[in-house]
Amino acid sequence: MGFVFYDTETTGTETSFDQILQFAAIHTDSDLNELDRFEVRSRLLPGVVPSPRAMRITGIKAAQLVDPTIPSHYEMIRLLQEKFLQWSPAVFLGYNSIAFDEHLLRHSLYKTLHLPYLTNTNGNARSDVMRMTQAVHLFSPGALKIPKGPNGKVTFKLDSLAPANGFEHQHAHDALADVEATIFICRRLSERAPAVWSSFMRFSQKAAVIDYVSSETIFCFSDFYYGKPFSCLVTSLGQNPNMPSEAYLYDVAVDPDSMMDLSEQQMIRRLNASPKPIRRLRCNASPMLMPAEDAPAIATAKTLGMEELERRAGVLEENQELRDRLISVFESEKKEDSVSPHVEQQLYSGFFTESDQQLLAEFHLVDWAKRVSIVDRLEDPRLKQLGFRLIYAERPDVLDKEHRRELEGFHVQRLLSKSDDVPWLSLPKAQQELIDLIAGSTGDEREFYKEHLALVGERIERSKVFV
């Protein structure tokens, strides 16, 4: 199975509300030899306002956002999906993709009425190269040069890491250049830290993670929180029955004997104290797992010796009542996620029915006039709402006047919002941000911001017509 490396350049960092403006991917064989590459851009959606700072980082000019020769967002996603299906099955990788690009891609597919879990279904798997470089820092120090940022702390930013290891990264924050930099890092990593590379390849499959954590008595679990490494020796308490892709891990640095006679309130306090006895493992999110003997020195339980650690794991294995109680108290402290009032943030609120999936497949094969009736037949209110917004963005002329007027009003209200509580960027906020940026800039940078300010001003004036 080969690899698909991909990267996105976007209007901002809100994965539910921002959009992809540039998408690039390279398909390689299992030895990281290039087989094919793909790049596409899209023009701006009617309800999206780009972050001025994001535009400066990527260098995307105002004129590019509205260039009619560039594909629409929907057309871009259609091309992207077609290419990904052509390259599948594969392991899909990006740099910091699990935390950002994957969510953005899923939301982009969701908002264009495609099945969202493209990179981890139908034989595909996924991993994250930034997490690999972090693992190298812990388990194979020296295999890669990890640079330090202006604050003197190590940084895993690709535009710093790639040049530090010999890549000429002249076009950082261009999607295709970032993909090439990511592949370069993977070649270095696979040669110089093969154990880390092998571990991440193995655990790109959720089933492999579940099998490992359920069969290994003791193993090392690591992660990075706010840029700082964390590592502990753990044993599995079992899977979450309500979420099969999630497992509970117990840090054997904490003697389970000390947990047995605690009251519920005492146990709550202990579960929230350091070191935290229980960790939640997302089995489908490129976890950092290694054998116990490879645990770094920061895994303090290592000093206890394997005999004592296996004894502690045995206590939990033999005491089902304690395991159940630990999980029950741990779950009782979890805050319930409230359902967002915004359909863009409801992707993870449930899967689509089989009948809706059949209608979605039909939607993309017929002309736009016929798509209106298909959206009307969808059962899922999320898909119905997104479907009409999609038609409005692509072909508003096929909607009746009442529906078109309703959607115009929705977009105007969103674009002109002055509320500080909304999770998207509005035109008035972008306008003020640009005015401030222009005041503090000179030369080409000033001209760049002025062009974006002019576009924002035009959009505000056009929106006022519908108020």
Average pLDDT per 10 consecutive residues for the chain, totaling 467 residues? 96 97 98 97 97 96 97 98 97 97 98 97 96 96 93 92 90 88 97 97 96 96 90 96 92 97 95 94 95 94 95 96 96 84 95 97 97 98 98 97 94 93 96 97 96 97 80
pTM for this entry: 0.94
CATH topology match: 2-196 vs 205-332: no
Predicted local distance difference test score (pLDDT) of residue 467: 58
Domain segments of the chain as ranges = 2-196, 205-332, 354-464
Nearest CA to 330 out of 267, 236, 412 is that of: 267
Predicted local distance difference test score (pLDDT) of residue 466: 67
Q: Are the beta carbons of 40 and 76 closer than 8 angstroms? A: yes
Query: What are φ and ψ of residue 439, in 5° steps?
Result: -65, -25
- What's the CA gap between 66 and 46, in Å, rounded? 10
Predicted local distance difference test score (pLDDT) of residue 75: 98
Statement: 205-332 belongs to CATH 3.30.1520.20: yes
Which class is domain 2-196? alpha beta
Q: Are the beta carbons of 375 and 393 closer than 8 angstroms? A: no
> Per residue, what are the HEC states of 233-279?
EEEEEEEECCEEEEEEEEECCCCHHHHCCCCHHHHHHHHCCCCCCEE
Q: CB within 8 A of 383, min separation 6: which ones?
A: 113, 352, 356, 360, 375
